Amino acid sequence: MISKSILHKSGAAFLLLSLAVGCSGGGGSSNRASGAPKVQSNVPANQSTDVDVNASMSATFNQKMDSATLTTTTFTVTEGVAAVPVQGTVVYADSKAVFWPTAHLASDSDFTATITTGAQNPGGIALAASFVWKFKTGSTVGAGQPVNLGAAGGFAILAKAGISTVPTSAITGDLGISPAAATAVTGFDLTLDASNVFSTSAQVIGRVYAADYAPPTPSNLTTAVLDMETAFTDAAGRAPDVTELGAGNIGGMTLVPGVYKWGTGLLIPTDLTLDGSATGVWIFQVAQDLNLSSATNIVLSGGALPKNVFWQVTGAVDVGTTAQFSGIILSATAISFHTGASINGRLLAQTAVTLDGNTVVAPTP
């Protein structure tokens, strides 16, 4: 007859053995596999038809991903049975990867989008399997989509190297400087708050943040600058609707919503009108410098909003005296406003912003 104590000991031994197996390499692999990222939604939907020829392809993941692993190598789009590669740009933000084709897609054609197992989360865990979906284009050009500014959209002025003014300027919105320190913000007579998190200025209706202020300011600014750079890449990657308009001189024109691209600089010597509704989006891709002449205005009509106008400029931006600018400036170099110039928009520079008695009003989000 088997005693109860033996049964208890046997049961305990079985339990310990089970726990040991559960903690072994096999069990650990299973747990890691269960944490593998997944695509929880995609656009266009699989087997969609009549997709706009200027559409983007996107995949939203169920967790944060490593942006460095989401590139045109791991996120691809091909055309037809021959799988001809579509050239494009991949932008990742907020758990979503977006593929922007360099040019409009061919109309009435079949396409395949693929995200490979090279896509990983920050822990190095990859998709369990490649994610593939198919769609077919129609022949229409759809409404443009605004550029996602991320945390950079919280600033009227954001720069990496410096922000200076010849007093007095009037800024409505926050200023941010990173990785440069607060000493790179000049002409504003800053007063550091007791929290050491931000400064104030009589010229700023808002706060001034710098990389050498107390946490969480440094990390917040790092995120904002990265988002500014991502937004620049996003805007630059949109397929153009119009190229080389006016041979780089668009003064006096009236432009409807769309993506406009120049392989040169862009000059606006006389008033430019942007005519469209409150949902219209304008993206201007400028390969060199952008110059708005003195006493020249960028006029928004028909309900157009400055938050939906994006100036992606690889060179420098120069706005003349008493000129009035509208929109979001994303500059890879410097932005300079001369005496009395103003903007309803944002100045987002990957180097410096220079002001001279200017008015800057951040648009309503």
Rounded distance, CA 281 to CA 304, Å? 8
Angle between helices 4-22 and 25-34 (to 10 degrees): 50
Residue 11 to residues 4, 25, 188, 309: CA-CA distances in angstroms?
Answer: 10, 24, 75, 71
Mean pLDDT, range 235-258, rounded to an integer = 98
Rounded distance, CA 252 to CA 336, Å? 23
Quick one: pLDDT at residue 19?
A: 36
For the entire predicted model, the pTM comes to: 0.88
Residue type, 347: L
For CATH 2.60.40.1220, the residue range(s) in the chain are 39-137
CATH of domain 39-137: 2.60.40.1220
Residue 291 to residues 103, 276, 294, 319, 342: CA-CA distances in angstroms?
Answer: 26, 23, 9, 6, 14
Query: Is residue 25 over pLDDT 50?
Result: no
pLDDT in tens, 212-243: 999 999 999 999 999 999 999 999 999 999 99
Rounded distance, CA 125 to CA 65, Å? 9
Q: What is the mean pLDDT of the chain?
A: 92
The two tokens of residue 19 are: 């726990």
Q: Is 360 helix (H, G, I), strand (E, B) or coil?
A: strand
319, 302 contact by CB (below 8 A): no
